[in-house]
């Protein structure tokens, strides 16, 4: 049976030599450039990029170079919407489907 310490030292040296390679691979991977803008109490007709009469030049230029949601819905509370955006799931699939519990109390 081979002694354990020389085998371990050989493995550790090989791993140590590979560390600089893994840093180079990570440094070359491009990071995504994501800007998410959420606003309150707006309709689709409130932004110029969706055909509104309201002039929104900065948002229009961002929308021209980016992604616009055309089939999305929002809930009255922000938690389900935030969960959907962060997970890509419907709120009930993300576990945020029932925000209010009816305990049968008056009021």
> pLDDT by residue (tens digit) across 49-95?
888 888 889 888 988 988 887 777 666 777 788 888 889 898 888 88
Whether pTM exceeds 0.75: no
- Chain-centre distance for alpha carbon 84: 9
**Is 3's pLDDT higher than 60?**
yes
- The answer to whether the CB of 84 falls within 8 A of the CB of 103 is no
Taking the C-alpha atoms of residue 98 and residue 84, their distance in angstroms, rounded to an integer, is: 14
Task: Note the pLDDT of residue 99.
Answer: 62
User: pLDDT, tens digit, for every residue of 15-56?
Assistant: 666 666 555 555 666 788 888 777 767 777 788 888 888 888
Among 41, 73, 38, smallest CA distance to 59 is for 38
């Amino acid at each position: 049976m081979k002694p354990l310490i020389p085998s371990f030292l050989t493995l550790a040296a090989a791993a140590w030599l590979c560390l600089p390679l893994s840093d180079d691979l990570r440094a070359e991977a491009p990071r995504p450039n994501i800007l998410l803008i959420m606003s309150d109490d707006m309709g689709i007709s409130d932004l110029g990029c969706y055909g509104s009469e309201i002039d929104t030049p900065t948002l229009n230029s961002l929308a021209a170079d980016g992604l616009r949601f055309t089939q999305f819905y929002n809930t009255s509370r922000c938690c389900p919407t935030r969960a959907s955006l962060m997970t890509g799931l419907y709120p009930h699939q993300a576990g945020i489907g029932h925000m209010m519990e009816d305990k049968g109390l008056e009021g």
